[in-house]
Amino acid sequence: MALSKAQQAVPLLSVSKLTKLFGSFAACNGIDLDIAPGEIHALLGENGAGKSTLVKMLFGVLQPSEGQISFEGRPVTITSPGDARHLGIGMVFQHFSLFEALTVAENIALSLDPKIPLAKIAQEAASLSKAYGLPLDPNAHVADLSVGERQRIEIVRALLQNPKLIILDEPTSVLTPQEADRLFETLFKLRAEGRSVLYISHRLEEVRRICDGATVLRHGKVTGACDPKQETPASLARMMVGAEVAEIHREAGATLGDLRLEVSNLTVPAKTPFAVTLKNVGMKVRTGEILAIAGVAGNGQGELFDALSGEYTVPQDDAIRIRGKSVGRTGINGRRLLGAGFVPEERHGHAAVSGMALSDNLLLARSRSDRKAFLSGGLFSLIRKGAVSSATKRICDVMDVRKSGDDPLAGSLSGGNLQKFIVGRELDRQPSVLIVNQPTWGVDAGAASRIRQALIDLAKAGSAVVVISQDLDEIFEVATNIAVISEGKLSEPHPAGELSLERIGLMMGGIHESHSVPEAASAH
Amino acid sequence: MFEAILLTVITASTPLVIAALGELVTERAGVLNLGVEGMMIMGAVAAFAAAKMTGSPYIGLLGGIAGGALFSLLFGFLTLTLVANQVATGLALTILGLGLSGQLGEPFAGQPGLPLPDIVIPGLSQIPFFGKVLFSQDLTFYLSIALVVGVNWFLFKSRTGLKVRAIGDNHASAHALGISVIRTRYLAVIFGGACAGLAGAQLSLVYTPQWVENMSAGRGWIALALVVFASWRPWRVLAGGYLFGAVTIGQLHAQAFGIAVPSQLLSALPYIATIVVLIIISHNRRTTLINTPASLGKPFVPDR
């Protein structure tokens, strides 16, 4: 395949026959990859395709079993992240490697030239983050920041090392379209300076828009190398998953039935100085309806989910009504017993215990609401192992959860597969009300379309569904009605057909812009 | 009278402050070493033996530091290199230390000690009241104050201290940044051991200048509680150390004056205070996140 000028120069990074074995399992199998100086190169692949393993080898976190990495024409052995940085490779991780107990400036200082005195770094960080158009308060503790703000630190931190090659893992998954545009400007600037970017993304449109070359992985092998600008999203997706990605199927003009979830005048004061106060939130969700709540990270989505799920109860009992019953003061299990189901945002540690088997995770969530099915009666409520494991198997089959072994640890599944399991765990109960926060964050295209289809099917079968999401494409795929949350206030819902992608993006982005101005000002 | 009480409070508080500062650094690096009591008693016996054999209490002090540091190295090897469970290893270290020190110290039991002399600072010690209390003390007192200032500066102002806190917060990320987690933790553990040893030396060279089996008498545990009480901050260790020291001394004086406070209650006070502090800091998720080393006690194995 001709890649114009990109392949004519000596590649900055050249990988040949790179293989990583875990036992007998080849996570990467004979990977070849070339990145030219000044190229934005996309790495595409489903979760579990071997992208993370490849990137970890490039960054010195893992050692290859076989194969050779060359940097600037010379063969190199990268034994640690320090080596990688020394060569000029920078990395922005998908799961942020930030220190929550430290301030923004301290986090940045840890990866800066040790000659700069610590006292100066706060000022330095403020001016540098401003130069990159990523407003940050250097003295804020990371523990108090939103996911989006944390990513800014990661990006600034990697850029500050002045790398020749910068690896970005799913960088735009938490950004607004406007923020993403700003990031792309930064990337184009880096490219103009002759630096290269290895860009990992599931967003095919984005890859087509900004990348000069692409390498596609499937099951640890390269299945395609192409110029993404010459491809269509569908053809890229085909290389990635090996078959056409299932089109989301939704019938127009769904009929809405009874009121299932009613929220009125829900006001929840912020729990920490940096959390968001929910102000007078109201919504009505009927059977057959999917209400999608759009918004930029850190505008009250987490707080809204906590209030709706009962993770934090509210004093006004009738602020939240599920199937006509006031549940404001009822906890999670009480709401579940009324037929509601909840899928929180964080897969690890919130929706699932990584160190426990899938069946245990199933039981943890449903031991109360489905106690008859999973626990025997009597004094000790013994666990009915057979029922739990058959339910686990049923969920994995229905949701196509790919795993090793019958009942592996939740933490051993890839993000997409674990998310399918977590969503499936709730769907298996056929909840009459389902509330999902960020259902497909960091999930590959195949798993995302599976989850979205499942949500649509659930609504069609007569449930009321609330989807809180930052992904506008997702919102338009699934929503019957759309509302926007910003600074703790929820807008009126609009039928999905009456809103354009651009308009919602601007609503969210516009609100965000005005929000970030005082933040930037306080940085001085 | 009041001056005399204050002097005894200082002597009782100094070993708590020193041992707790050492453990604070260890815990800030994410290692929970419950063997403070064992390292302290090893320091006490090593200090006494070194002083007796050389005739110099200062060499005794060095001996105490070395004794505690060497003993902590055993903990480091087991938990950092062999990745043994930190809680179990720490408890074993205490039990081993108490037994081993009794064995090693047997020839020294009942012998007269070599007390560490007071260092009178000219001029300053002439200040009425405070001069005598603060400026004519033995070396360990001055060291304890210098350690508070030094550890606070090191952790919150120096780059190496920043790395220590980073490792304690998230060792996987620190590793990804190229910080040597295991090496830093070894150094933090050894520093903790050296401080515990110094605190032990203070017991056998200053507090009661002789060797008695089990003479640490639970002070290592109080030092551990003190670290939590201080929510991992050096200046609060100083304040808390003196509070706990005052309680210990108050207990003795209360008995002398015939005040009917059960001594058991007073001995329990440091632990009760620690529980109260734990309740207060756990109440607010934010203060917990910012002050508590998140990877405390978790084993680190770099993935390969």
- Residue A170 makes CB contacts below 8 A (sequence gap 6+) with A94, A200, A201, A202, A442
pLDDT digits (tens, 9 = 90+) for A39-95: 999 998 766 678 888 998 999 888 999 999 999 999 999 988 888 988 999 888 766
- Residue A503 makes CB contacts below 8 A (sequence gap 6+) with none
pLDDT digits (tens, 9 = 90+) for A342-393: 999 888 888 899 889 999 999 998 888 888 888 887 778 888 888 999 999 9
Q: How many CB atoms lie within 10 A of CB A50?
A: 24
pLDDT digits (tens, 9 = 90+) for A124-142: 777 767 766 667 788 888 8
- Position A523 confidence tier, pLDDT thresholds 50, 70, 90: very low
User: What is the interface pTM, i.e. ipTM, of the complex?
Assistant: 0.83
CB contact under 8 A, B177 and A97: yes
- Looking at beta carbons, which residues of chain B come within 8 Å of A106? 162, 165-166
CB contact under 8 A, B286 and A143: yes
Q: Residue A23, SS3?
A: coil
Crossing angle (nearest 10°) for helices A358-366 and A385-399? 100
- Average pLDDT, integer, range A415-440: 91
- Average pLDDT, integer, range A308-312: 92
Question: Has residue A146 got a pLDDT over 50?
Answer: yes
Interface check B303 vs A, CB under 8 A = yes
Question: Has residue A20 got a pLDDT over 50?
Answer: yes
Say how many Å lie between the first and final Cα of chain B, rounded.
64
- Position A189 confidence tier, pLDDT thresholds 50, 70, 90: confident
CB contact under 8 A, A100 and B178: no
| A63 to chain B, closest Cα gap in Å | 7
> How far apart are alpha carbons A425 and A512 in whole angstroms?
34
CB contact under 8 A, B166 and A114: no
Q: Residue A271, SS3?
A: coil
Chains A, B: CB contacts within 8 A come to 76
pLDDT digits (tens, 9 = 90+) for A224-276: 888 988 887 777 777 776 654 556 666 655 578 889 999 999 999 887 666 78
Which of B178, B289, B303 shows the shortest C-beta gap to A101?
B289
> How far apart are alpha carbons B255 and B258 in whole angstroms?
5
Which of B157, B169, B174 shows the shortest C-beta gap to A100?
B169
The DSSP secondary-structure symbol of A352 reads B
CB contact under 8 A, B178 and A101: no
Residues in A lying within 8 Å of B, measured between beta carbons: 59, 61-63, 80-82, 85, 93, 97-102, 106, 109-111, 114, 118-119, 141, 143-144, 271-274
Domain architecture of chain A: domains with CATH: 4-241 (3.40.50.300), 259-352+431-522 (3.40.50.300)
CB contact under 8 A, B162 and A118: yes
**What stretches in chain B show pLDDT beneath 50?**
none
Q: Residue A204 to residues A170, A190, A193, A242: CA-CA distances in angstroms? A: 12, 21, 25, 15
Interface check B298 vs A, CB under 8 A = no
What pLDDT is stored for residue A520 in this prediction?
A: 36
Q: Residue B265 to residues A168, A269, B248: CA-CA distances in angstroms? A: 59, 41, 11
What pLDDT is stored for residue A94 in this prediction?
A: 65
What pLDDT is stored for residue A305 in this prediction?
A: 94
CB contact under 8 A, A102 and B289: no
Which of A100, A114, A141 shows the shortest C-beta gap to B159?
A114
Report which of A167, A97, A107, A172 is spatially closest to residue A136, judged by C-alpha positions: A107
- Looking at beta carbons, which residues of chain A come within 8 Å of B304? 62-63
| A374 to chain B, closest Cα gap in Å | 33
| B158 to chain A, closest Cα gap in Å | 7
- B16-51 residues labelled b (16+ CB within 10 A) or e (exposed): bbbbbbbbbbbbbbbbbbbbbbbbbbbbbbbbbbbb
Whole-model pTM? Answer: 0.68
Q: CB of A358 within 8 A of CB of A419? A: no
> How far apart are alpha carbons A462 and A443 in whole angstroms?
26
Question: Has residue A501 got a pLDDT over 70?
Answer: no
Interface check B301 vs A, CB under 8 A = no
The DSSP secondary-structure symbol of A172 reads T
Residue to mutate among A55, A97, A354, with most B CBs inside 10 A, is A97
Identify the CATH assignment for B2-115+130-291 out of 1.10.3470, 1.20.272, 3.40.50, 1.20.1410: 1.10.3470
**Helix count (H) and strand count (E) of chain A?**
17, 21
Q: Residue A331, SS3?
A: coil
Amino acid, single-letter form, for residue A188 = F
Q: DSSP secondary structure string, A187-232?
A: HHHHHHTT-EEEEE-S-HHHHHHH-SEEEEEETTEEEEEE-GGGS-
**Partner residues linked to A199 by β-bridges:** A42, A168
- Residue A253 makes CB contacts below 8 A (sequence gap 6+) with none
Say how many Å lie between the first and final Cα of chain A, rounded.
51
CB contact under 8 A, A272 and B170: no
Q: Is A379 exposed, middle or buried (0-12, 13-18, 19+ CB in 10 A)?
A: exposed
Report which of A506, A329, A6, A312 is spatially closest to residue A320, judged by C-alpha positions: A329
Question: Has residue A114 got a pLDDT over 60?
Answer: yes
